[in-house]
Each structure stands twice: as structure tokens, then as C-alpha cells.
């Protein structure tokens, strides 16, 4: 489900029928738990069964690799989450960070219940199950400016063995190079906050904390486009544009990834 750009930019939560309200956390929200914890939350939301066994349950990874493709096709990360009470509680904690309401793991029904305080009473207003879990995670990731890659695709989404083989090849060929420590530091939230506060004409180090994480990345991308546009515009003003290649409306070109 692709969410409308205007909705993603808005600080208002997105209401999901029979579930609850998903928000894009502000920088102030993230600062309360720390960047590392926030990134851990996003990492957990992007786990697939394969990544789960490879990164979390390494002892069982070889067993997973030996499983029949039919079993892999039927397995979802939700199945692994609810099979372990402690992990399910960790996921409830993750979901709580992105929901307006309170999310609690229901061990009896193997689902996540969503509660809202109404007239001083904690009322259940929605549920998260195997059926809607992946869609909800996708909405949360979009609200946090995260786009899933081939590496994050779950085999359970694949319809047949032929498609499974194609997905395997795509995953094998899409392994990204490890980021250097300098690159990680360069694109950390802390560094982007510092840079945007210093170079933006409208945002400063005091006001930036009210931005949602989506707004932060959006404005950072816009600032990069602005700097590049200004360089090209200055070059044209000095040397001219005999080939008429410079586009004066380029400054508001869409920056969407898709």
C-alpha cells in the first residue's frame, strides 16, 4: 500500500480501520529513546524469516536453509514472533512506539491487541494478526521514510516456486556493500539534525525537534537539491546557457524515490 505523499508529510497519525492510529515519530520522540534504540525498532520491523534465523537464531539457520521451499513459502515472520512469548513482547514494545494507542501481546489468541483510554477505561479498539501484520509494518516503515528492498522481501509473499527462485536470485545479486563507519556517521540522524539546523533558513536547532522523522529526511533531501540548483543557477548567471539546458523549475522537481 503506497501512502499519499501529503499524508506522509503530515504530522497527523494515520488511522487504520479496526487497528488504530500509526504516527510518524518526532525527533523529540526519538531523542527520548536514542537513535540506536530507534534503529533497532526499524531493524526488527524489517526482519524476514530468513534474516531472523541468520541474525537472531543463528543455531537454527542451517535447519532453516534445509527446509523445503513449500514450507518457506508458508512461513511468515509473524509466525516466528508469536511462537516466542519474549520476542512477541519485544515486538509489542516496538509497535507501541509507533502507535498512538497501547499495543499488548495476547498470548491466548496469538495476536496483538490495541487499547485506547476512553472515559478512564482501557478499551480494546483493534487487533493485529497474521492477516494484517505485514501491511501495518509497511505503513510504519513508510511513515519513517524507509523503503523495503529485495533483501527485506518475505518468501511468504511469493505465489509459486518459479517466483521463489527469481526472488532468491534477486536477493543474491542485491547484497549491498557494507557501509563504512564514516558513511554511517555521515547519514546518522544526529548528523542530519545538526547539518539541517545549520544550513536551513527556516529550521534551527531549537525548532527542529518538532519535525517528524519523515519531515526531517524530506527537508534534508530538499536542501541537497537546493544547493545543487543554486550552484547550477550561479554558473548559468555567469557563463550563460547557450544550449538552453538549464531548467529554472528544477528546484521543485519531485524527490520521491518512486
CA distance 49 to 169: 17
What average pLDDT does this structure show over 12-19? 97
Identify the band that residue 156 occupies on the pLDDT scale cut at 50, 70 and 90: low
Question: What residues have CB less than 8 Å from 111, skipping those under 6 apart?
Answer: 82, 105, 127, 128, 129
The predicted-structure confidence for 182-208, as pLDDT tens digits, reads as follows 778 899 999 999 999 999 989 999 999
Q: Which of 182, 224, 193 is nearest to 27 (CA)?
A: 193
The answer to whether residue 167 scores a pLDDT higher than 50 is no
Would the pLDDT of 240 be above 70? no
Position with higher pLDDT, 157 vs 167: 157
pLDDT at 38: 97
Percentage of residues in the chain having pLDDT higher than 90: 59
Q: Give the tens place of pLDDT for each residue, 55-76.
A: 888 888 899 989 998 888 889 9
Taking each helix axis from N to C terminus, what angle separates 35-45 and 85-98, rounded to the nearest 10 degrees? 110
**Does residue 166 carry a pLDDT above 50?**
no
User: How many Å apart are CA 145 and CA 253, to the nearest integer?
Assistant: 18
pLDDT of residue 235: 65
Amino acid at each position: 500500500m503506497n501512502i499519499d505523499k501529503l499524508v506522509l508529510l503530515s504530522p497527523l497519525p494515520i488511522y487504520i480501520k479496526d487497528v488504530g492510529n500509526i504516527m510518524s515519530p518526532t525527533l523529540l520522540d526519538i531523542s527520548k529513546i536514542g537513535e540506536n534504540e530507534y534503529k533497532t525498532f526499524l531493524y526488527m520491523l524489517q526482519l524476514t524469516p530468513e534474516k531472523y534465523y541468520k541474525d537472531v537464531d543463528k543455531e537454527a539457520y542451517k535447519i532453516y536453509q534445509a527446509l523445503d521451499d513449500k514450507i518457506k513459502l508458508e512461513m511468515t515472520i509473524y509466525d516466528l514472533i508469536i511462537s516466542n512469548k519474549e520476542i512477541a513482547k519485544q515486538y509489542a514494545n516496538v509497535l507501541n512506539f509507533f502507535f498512538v494507542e497501547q499495543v499488548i501481546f495476547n498470548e491466548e489468541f496469538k495476536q496483538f491487541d490495541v487499547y485506547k483510554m476512553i472515559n478512564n477505561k482501557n478499551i480494546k479498539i483493534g487487533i493485529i494478526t497474521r492477516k494484517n501484520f505485514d501491511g501495518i509494518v509497511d505503513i510504519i516503515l513508510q511513515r519513517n521514510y524507509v523503503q523495503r528492498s529485495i533483501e527485506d522481501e518475505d518468501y511468504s509473499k511469493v505465489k509459486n516456486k518459479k517466483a521463489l527462485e527469481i526472488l532468491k536470485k534477486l536477493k543474491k545479486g542485491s547484497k549491498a556493500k557494507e557501509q563504512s563507519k564514516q558513511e554511517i556517521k555521515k547519514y546518522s540522524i544526529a548528523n542530519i539534525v545538526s547539518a539541517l539546523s545549520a544550513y536551513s533558513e527556516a529550521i534551527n536547532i531549537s525548532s527542529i525537534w518538532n519535525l517528524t522523522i519523515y519531515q526531517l529526511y524530506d527537508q534534508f533531501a530538499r536542501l541537497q537539491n537546493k544547493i545543487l540548483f543554486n550552484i547550477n543557477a550561479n554558473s548559468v548567471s555567469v557563463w550563460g546557457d547557450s544550449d538552453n539546458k538549464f531548467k529554472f523549475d528544477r528546484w521543485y522537481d519531485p524527490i520521491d524515490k518512486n
